[in-house]
Structure 1
Amino acid sequence: MPGRTRTLRFVIVAVLALMAPLLTPLAAEASAPPAPAVGSCHTYDWNTFLGVSDSSAPVSCSGPHVARTVFVGRLWTDEAYSSMLNDPKIIQYMVKQCLVPTQQAIGPWKTVAVAGYDGSFFVPTSAEYGAGARWFRCDVSLPGAGHLYPIPNQHPLASPLSPGQSRCIHLTSQGGLPVACAAPHSYRAAGVVWVPGSAYPSRSTWLAVAQAHCPPIVRTSRWYLTGVSSVRWSAGDHYLTCYRPTTT
């Protein structure tokens, strides 16, 4: 689960089958350390954001903070720690569980489509897992390119959405990275298009919809687009985002 594979980035990805939850407590949980609290705020750094665990203490939400916990779920597994970190079923299970609480913390799907906020998840440390901890935590943050920006103490986070909190695209050698517009960027979200239908669109469908609708939104011959993952589509987000170039 290295780096950005643990974030809920706004890209088109395949979704694996979800892990079926068990209905009985795991024996190891009897003496487990307490789980994190929904609503807690945090000030971790970029390396922690890219990591798998965060053992720092929460901070007051009335003061500066870069993340807020919006959901705490349960890991229904007793497999080895290293195996758990790399189990695609568990990763996709956490992504699925984090998705809607993350959306609700940011705003309606139409707002999420143009906001720079992102979701991520954390699991217990190896020592906590060994002591019986079986939780996972979903956080919302405002990432740039190697930096986390402060988030407001309000709900939803993107109401109103400030220019610096909007979603932009930072171009890298690997392609475009969605970031908060406070970060260096090459494209800024200019508007969204609702993609009709019930079946998840193919790549060619995303492109066809964008070619038909993005030019009048961006009003320039050069533009950028992002779609959504199939899990977000299933959750009700059918928005395609159109971006116009910037010089910022």
Structure 2
Amino acid sequence: MTRRLGTSAALIGLLAAALTTFSAPATAADPLFQAPVVGQCSPMTRAELDQPTYAGAPVDCAGAHTSLVIAVTTLPDGLTYDSPDLVDLALETCYPAQRKALGTNVLGARLTAYAIGWFGPSAEQQAAGARWLRCDLVLLGGTELTPLPGKLDVGKYPFKKSVSRCLAGRDFLVTTCSAKHTYRATAAIKIKANRYPKEKAWKRIGTDRCRNATTSRTYRFSWPSKVDWTVGDRALVCYTQTKK
């Protein structure tokens, strides 16, 4: 039996939450006003990951932390925080930074429980001229975030259970394979197509390609969203049912 998951969970954050746009002051302003710096760590929660802004104080990266700033960029002229093109900027900035931090490619990243969140400045920071966007790397653990390990480079596949992608619960939430789970990602397959496949086509592709990439009678698969596809994510992920 084949069952399909929702679209890629690799991107978390502002996909459904637009920021309020403010006009910059008439005087010269710093677009990086109060922006975080790459390498900054935070004790972010899963609930905070879903918000359009993050105002938590940074912590020492030598201690426990759940997020790491992996990229910071400024918005180009003409782009606002409520523009649909903001998503493209976020993905084009965050995905390469994620792959660099993990030392792997798109397919490798999809076989891990790592994800990215992206955030903009608060209303007050925007009013002061801030025009930045930050990318944070997190490790999903179902309804919570898992503390990040000291070494992010995942090496060669198969990856450690502590960072490998598995699914848990009735909602099939992404978690690490060291936690309780029911499905394990066993393959990430690059799909070649001239245009983004429709849902019916994705189901056919997933059924055909994941049948031989899984080792259980019941398996699942997920595919990238259309916006992920436009920035180069063509990975179909296949999940094998497990007993754990």
TM range (shorter): 0.7 to 0.9
Q: State whether residues 169 and 186 of structure 1, in contact with CA within 8 Å, keep that contact through their aligned partners in structure 2.
A: yes
Secondary structure of 1:189's aligned partner: strand
Q: Pairwise mapping of residues 1-248 of structure 1 onto structure 2 (< 5 A)?
A: 9-10=9-10, 27=27, 29-30=29-30, 33-76=33-76, 84=81, 86-106=82-102, 107-156=104-153, 158-159=154-155, 161-172=159-170, 176-248=172-244
Distance 1:183 1:88 in 2: 36
Deviations 1:97-144 (A, max 9, x none): 322212322321121121110000111122222222221110010022
Distance 1:232 1:50 in 2: 18
Q: Which amino acid letter does the alignment assign opposite residue 134 of structure 2?
A: R
Give the CA deviation at 1:69.
Answer: 0.8
Sequence identity of aligned pairs in percent? 26
Structure 1: runs of 5 or more not aligned:
1-7, 16-24
Aligned residues: 222
Q: Which amino acid letter does the alignment assign opposite residue 135 of structure 1?
A: W
Distance 2:143 2:58 in 1: 22
Give the CA deviation at 1:235.
Answer: 3.7
Distance 1:232 1:224 in 2: 20
Secondary structure of 2:29's aligned partner: helix
Q: TM-score, normalised by structure 1?
A: 0.75
User: Once structures 1 and 2 are overlaid, which stretch shifts more, 176-185 or 222-231?
Assistant: 176-185
RMSD: 3.0
Change (3 A) 1:240 1:26: farther
Q: TM-score, normalised by structure 2?
A: 0.76
Distance 1:27 1:117 in 2: 41
